[in-house]
Structure 1
Amino acid sequence: MTTSETTGQSSPSKPVQPQSTTNPYVGILAVFLGAGLATLSSRLLSVGLPDLRGTLGISFDDASWLPTAFNMATMFSGVFIVFLNAFWGPRRILLPAAAIFTTASFLLPFAPNYQVMLALVIVAGLASGTFYSLTMTFVLTNLPKRLIIFGIAAYAADIVFVSNIATLLEGWYIDYLSWRWIFWTAALFTPVMMVCIHFGIPNRTNAEPRPSWLGFTYFSVSLALLYGALDQGQRLDWLNSGTIVGMLVAGLFLLGAAIVRRMVQPNPVLNLKFLNTRNIIILATSIFVFKFMHLAAIVLVPGFLSNIQHYRPLETGHTLAWVALPMFVVVWLVATVIIYANSRPVLALGLTVGAMCCWLWSHVDTSWSGNSFEIVELLLSLGLACTYIGLVSSIVLEGLEAGALTSASNAATFSGFMHLMRIFGGQIGVVALTRFIAVREQFHSNMLGLYVQRGSWLTDHRVRMLAGGVLSRSTDGQEAQQRGATLLGLQVRAQAYTLATSDGFVLIVWVVIVYLLMMLLLRPGKITFNDLRKMQ
């Protein structure tokens, strides 16, 4: 969600048109393709990791670093490129980045070993990180004001649709094509994006004054290291791992270096004072809340189906992907409503609907299957559509009202901050929820274990019942008894994970409630999309 680019960057110098006339609508198609491909590539790599590990014979520890490295590279280039765009413009960034992304994605399946694959994943992540950052910037600076809200709707449809179909697509690749298409999908469609860039995005002259990139480099590397520490922290046991400690120390050190650099030599394209307003901070927090609520559909439900019902990716994909179509329709209806209404109530309504869905899902038990989630999942998709368009619209209007378009430094600062909230805030949400589920699963397992003890008549009775069920498939009564005890342990584990999942849904509800209370502190907005339409 590059709501980070809500205001778009306006350079102090006017763009210089190339010799061939470019069509801005073709350019908009290019950046939409880029954002969708970046989202799809990241999701395919994460969802397809178990299949890659099994096919290529990569260990669990090594395989876990592939999506981490991809996202660390995306984190590095994502925020950095916002400010680079203020100087170079999107065409000079996106064309070479798309070419590099295409090449790396094509070569990845041919990697001779893990080290080469890891290096290519990093290259692909660096290139794709530029796609997110420039999408809404280009849309907002090239669409007529009366069409901006529909540009936001198209972007929402693009990202949400891709996020929902990724699991289904990966499962279909594994079952019917090849694991190689996890990477080749991007290699196939990115050249189309390059053609659209060539015919849709003009060149422009360099902006002045020329910024210093050393501080941005410190800051971007620090974000990448901190991201990696957060992503791998749960697996490596946080501060008990030298790797995590090293990444955290290095990341914090470079963050401090970036701050010192800022104090000693302020960068002309960065205006931090512009962010020091209540509305900007509260609306930026909505990005985190949306990403956190979205985890109900892309983390909790798939995790439950995989761990409890043992669904394969294709089966999970069939459960999740179908809501992409009604959501694709709803975003346009919501966009039309926002023209004549305030975007903030739409945001609040979407969050409320999402919280209600999570509350309903919190009653999950081990008998639930994919069909058990479908009706509420449809309602959640409507809530996510309202939330996404409502928050992006609110941020766009706040940026316009605050004067983000009055200077390149304001635009770049506002865009970079929102983009930082999108990628880094989203990862914090994933880490927090993952850690919460692990802690609550352990808690419930310990609590259930108090009532499942050898020698207890209830436990012995349950083991005998389970042993009777597997006696016909056992060599003798002793083996059946052992298998019955194993099955009881699995049932306890499944129940503990289910209860932890329920707690995760409740946690999301409380996060939404807290944010809705924060929204009461927002100062009233002065402009609406209807005002923009009339001005046009």
Structure 2
Amino acid sequence: MTSLAVPATLEAASKSSVGIPPIFGPRIIIGLVGVLLAVLVSGLNDMVTKLALADIRGALAIGYDEGTWLVASYTATSVAAMAFAPWCSVTFSLRRFTLCAISLFTVLGVLSPFAPNYESLLLMRTLQGLAGGALPPMLMTVALRFLPANLKLYGLAGYALTATFGPGLGTPLAGLWTEYLSWRWTFWQIIAPSLLAMVAVAYGLPQDPLRLERLKQFNWRGLLLGFPAICMLVIGILQGNRLDWFESSLIGWLLGGGLLLLVLFLVNEWSQPVPFFKLQMLGIRNLSFALLTLAGVLVVLLAVIIIPSSYLAQVQGYRPIQTAPVMLLMAVPQLIALPLVAALCNLRWVDCRWVLGIGLSLLALSCIGGSQLTSAWIRDDFYGLQLLQIFGQPMAVLPLLMLATGSISPQEGPFASAWFNTVKGLAAVIATGVLDALTTVRLHFHSTVLVDNLGNSPLADSNSAGLAHRLHQQAVVLTSSDLYLCMAGIALALILLIFWLPTRIYPPRAPT
């Protein structure tokens, strides 16, 4: 079996700059922590500003529709940047490119609350998404390049934090800033950790030489096709539910044009000598399985955050700060659970496919339990479900990273990073679109059924406003139950794939 490997191009660059490969030590660890901090902050910036959007819109006198474009533009450029950042990090050096991305990300965050008008704020958010999206691929590259073989899984566990730990902090932080400080802190929260990350990266990561000769082989056609394709698809998906999908000519143009450009982009990549995406790698069973399963897992992980938050807000009237304990119970223990799961997968006698199966089973069990919710549930009733998520999430994510990176050759490392991060970003967007569409469809269905069942009851004529409110609450409860059942079905379906798609992968080196 091929062990987790360092991208050869990056390793060669390092050797040429210092003469010998970087020696692992505290300095490298500090650099890795700096990149991890920057990636977590980038994800939190997206989550917190999205959750606090109502306060931001109120302060800046921005309408609801305009607010959705702030979210969509940030996400679109963020996902698109993940596809092309690995090539840039090799060309301009990993350390230099990472520092530039963090710097631009921080400066735009500082300036955003002072935007003179909506258009300038939209431009700043779009550019900030571009800078923030360039960071996640750097984290995977640093973990695979600099960590010793028996510690690589712990580096990947740090990357997994961006899918398990980071999203759970969005609600608590949004509640903290909007309730106790100011809406401006939803933008400014990034300043201190970003500056700390820059210091850690500047100190800890070795400096590679510039490789500007790669610009002569730059895949311009791929960039001109792929970047707008990804942006159009992301915006079309995020705006689709609001504009009633294909009933809107704009959504039809975005999704249709985006798919056409994406097909042309993939055709171009197949024949390019230096592509951004190496399509031939999809023939590797474990990588294809990991990418497919990752998309499904991210749908479930996003749902277990959105469903309880939405239910508590609409049925029980909770503010984000009141929902925070539910999210924190799931997020904070990840700091312990992920290293434990990494240690488990690092044992040679442990098959990571079984770990993945157990993790998906815990997610399915949690969702089945959630499907039993009623209008009487309060915050405390979700704690048991979140406890299952504590180990279910890392056990579902980390084995996928191991399967994806453990079956590739050293030369394919940068391509695997581009594949994994781009699919991760697109999967999160698709998950949002799917959940929005399912919520709308089931909410309309249950509302119609409840009204039909009410019929000509005498209750229909008394306190109609209060009755309408109760009907909406009950429709939300039934919709939340349906969504939980859908997520359980996705998790169970992914378990079935384990039996025939992935092959056994051993850790890089078992601990002695």
Which segment drifts farther, 149-158 or 46-55? 149-158
Which segment drifts farther, 147-156 or 204-213? 204-213
Is 1:332 aligned to residue 336 of structure 2?
Answer: no
SS in 2 for 1:398: coil
Aligned to 2:244: 237
CA distance in 2, matches of 1:226, 1:293: 21
Report the AA paired with residue 314 of structure 1.
I
Report the AA paired with residue 356 of structure 2.
L
Aligned to 2:145: 141
> How many residues of Structure 1 are paired with residues of Structure 2 in the alignment?
497
Shift of 1:250: 3.1
Shift of 1:217: 3.3
The 5-angstrom pairing of residues 98-497 of structure 1 reads 98-157=102-161, 159-205=163-209, 206=211, 210-262=217-269, 265-267=272-274, 270-340=277-347, 341-399=350-408, 403=409, 405=410, 407=411, 410-453=412-455, 456=456, 459-460=457-458, 462-463=459-460, 481=462, 484-497=463-476
Query: Normalized against structure 2, the TM-score is what?
Result: 0.91
Instruction: Indicate which of 489, 507, 511 corresponds to 1:528.
Output: 507
Instruction: Quote the RMSD (CA, aligned, Å).
Output: 2.2
CA distance in 2, matches of 1:257, 1:485: 55
Q: Does the C-alpha gap of structure 1 residues 526 and 294 become closer, same or farther in structure 2, counting only changes over 3 Å?
A: closer
CA distance in 2, matches of 1:270, 1:36: 25
Shift of 1:177: 1.0
Instruction: Indicate which of 59, 66, 71 corresponds to 1:67.
Output: 71
Aligned to 1:512: 491
**CA-to-aligned-CA distance 1:168-213 (integer Å, 9 cap, x gap):** 1111111111111111111222122111221122232328763323
CA distance in 2, matches of 1:118, 1:349: 43
Contact 1:39 1:159 in 2 (8 A): no
SS in 1 for 2:190: helix
- For structure 2, the 5+ residue unaligned runs are none
Q: Does the C-alpha gap of structure 1 residues 263 and 350 become closer, same or farther in structure 2, counting only changes over 3 Å?
A: closer
Aligned to 1:11: 9
- For structure 1, the 5+ residue unaligned runs are 1-5, 465-480
Q: Does the C-alpha gap of structure 1 residues 262 and 165 become closer, same or farther in structure 2, counting only changes over 3 Å?
A: closer
Contact 2:57 2:67 in 1 (8 A): yes
SS in 1 for 2:364: helix
Contact 1:106 1:183 in 2 (8 A): yes
SS in 2 for 1:179: coil
Which segment drifts farther, 348-357 or 436-445? 436-445
Shift of 1:268: 5.2
Q: Does the C-alpha gap of structure 1 residues 264 and 321 become closer, same or farther in structure 2, counting only changes over 3 Å?
A: closer
CA distance in 1, matches of 2:481, 2:251: 29
CA distance in 1, matches of 2:222, 2:503: 36
Shift of 1:90: 1.4
Contact 1:98 1:128 in 2 (8 A): yes
Contact 2:281 2:287 in 1 (8 A): no
Shift of 1:334: 1.6
SS in 2 for 1:323: helix
Q: Does the C-alpha gap of structure 1 residues 269 and 311 become closer, same or farther in structure 2, counting only changes over 3 Å?
A: closer
Which segment drifts farther, 263-272 or 336-345? 263-272
Aligned to 2:480: 501
Q: Does the C-alpha gap of structure 1 residues 253 and 338 become closer, same or farther in structure 2, counting only changes over 3 Å?
A: closer
CA distance in 2, matches of 1:212, 1:435: 36
CA distance in 1, matches of 2:45, 2:321: 17
- Give the fraction of aligned pairs with identical amino acids, expressed as a percent: 26
Q: Does the C-alpha gap of structure 1 residues 256 and 159 become closer, same or farther in structure 2, counting only changes over 3 Å?
A: closer
Shift of 1:246: 2.5
**CA-to-aligned-CA distance 1:103-160 (integer Å, 9 cap, x gap):** 1000001111111111110111111111111101111110111111222223334653
Q: Does the C-alpha gap of structure 1 residues 159 and 526 become closer, same or farther in structure 2, counting only changes over 3 Å?
A: closer
SS in 1 for 2:165: helix
SS in 2 for 1:11: helix
Which segment drifts farther, 135-144 or 270-279? 270-279
**CA-to-aligned-CA distance 1:280-339 (integer Å, 9 cap, x gap):** 211211211221111232111111111111111111113221333333222222222112
Contact 1:8 1:412 in 2 (8 A): no
Query: Normalized against structure 1, the TM-score is what?
Result: 0.88
Which segment drifts farther, 520-529 or 233-242? 520-529
**CA-to-aligned-CA distance 1:43-69 (integer Å, 9 cap, x gap):** 111111111122222101001111111
Instruction: Indicate which of 17, 33, 37 corresponds to 2:37.
Output: 33
SS in 2 for 1:14: helix
Aligned to 1:475: none
Is 1:45 aligned to residue 54 of structure 2?
Answer: no
Report the AA paired with residue 423 of structure 1.
G
Q: Does the C-alpha gap of structure 1 residues 161 and 488 become closer, same or farther in structure 2, counting only changes over 3 Å?
A: same
CA distance in 1, matches of 2:506, 2:204: 30
